[in-house]
Amino acid sequence: MSQSPSTQPSTSLSPSSQPTRAICPPGLAFTSISENDDATLLTISDKDDERERVDLDFDFKWLGGENTVSAVVVDTNGQIVITDDAATNLPDSYNSFAIGSYGWPRVAVAQKDLSALSSGGGIATLISSRPDSIMISWENSEFLCAGGNVNAQAELFANGAVNICYGTGNIAYGTFPAGIEGGGVNDAYWTEGAVAYPLPGSPFNSTTGKTSEWPTNKCYCFTPGDGFAESTV
């Protein structure tokens, strides 16, 4: 049964320690799903600053905790918020929030103001569902007022694992954050055990999870209890 977040923190979180036991599967890489027969183009794909509820085909153990969620909210601005209500009064995601400061549990992939490519094509925000995972992909997008382009995706697994992968892209100026923040291992949402996991290693800032450099062909794997591991393609 899906749940709604209970409380929100009033202060930013310090990044949790980054354990090194997590391991990425071999051959992991960004894979465009825009032409997959089983991929679905979300209705928000050609819109700006919009969110859409996405029902999962499985119960997602957020952070590997005891509670599960059966839906998430996908944001055109490069993140997934762990709530089942797209109408929730969330912070404006076009502003770039350091990992640990957004105020809601989320998976930030390339969280910044995204828009349709000026050359055409629109924001391709897609999902591809499997029995125990869902891939959410932002393709052929650009950073509004920051130039560059975006091809990035996250895959959420029923056991709470998360893969974040980057394809080709660039950001002309400014930064965007990436990583995970939310409740403790045994809590579904924000609680006293709240955690913040910025993506590890260069080019990401170890405190904020922000980067001014696009991490081309890099993947990061989150394992509940073990943190993130990096896998360079």
Pairing outcome for strands 133-143 and 179-182: unpaired
Residue 51 lies in a domain: yes
Q: 């797209």: which residue's tokens?
A: 86
- Contact indicator for 9, 190 with CB cutoff of 8 Å: yes
Summarised one tens digit per residue, pLDDT across range 64-74 is 887 788 999 99
Summarised one tens digit per residue, pLDDT across range 44-68 is 877 788 899 999 989 999 888 877 8
Is 89 a residue whose pLDDT tops 50? yes
pLDDT, residue 44, reads 81
pLDDT, residue 14, reads 58
Residue 3 lies in a domain: no
Is 203 a residue whose pLDDT tops 70? yes
Rounded mean pLDDT, 98-115: 92
The alpha carbon of residue 142 and the mean position of all alpha carbons in its chain are separated, in whole angstroms, by: 16
Residue 64 lies in a domain: yes
Name residues whose C-beta falls within 8 Å of residue 156's C-beta, 6 or more positions apart in sequence. Answer: 56, 60, 72, 80, 107, 133, 134, 136, 162
* Structure token pair of residue 99: 């990992």
Higher pLDDT, 139 or 10: 139
Residue 65 lies in a domain: yes
Is 115 a residue whose pLDDT tops 90? no
Mean pLDDT of the chain: 82
Q: Residue 139 belongs to what domain range?
A: 39-232
Higher pLDDT, 34 or 165: 165
Rounded mean pLDDT, 73-80: 93
DSSP labels, 68-111? -EEEEEEETTTEEES-S-TTS-PPPTTS---TT-SSS-EEESS-
Residue 103 lies in a domain: yes
Residue 23 lies in a domain: no
Residue 98 lies in a domain: yes
- Contact indicator for 104, 8 with CB cutoff of 8 Å: yes
Eight-state DSSP code of residue 64: G
Is 1 a residue whose pLDDT tops 60? no
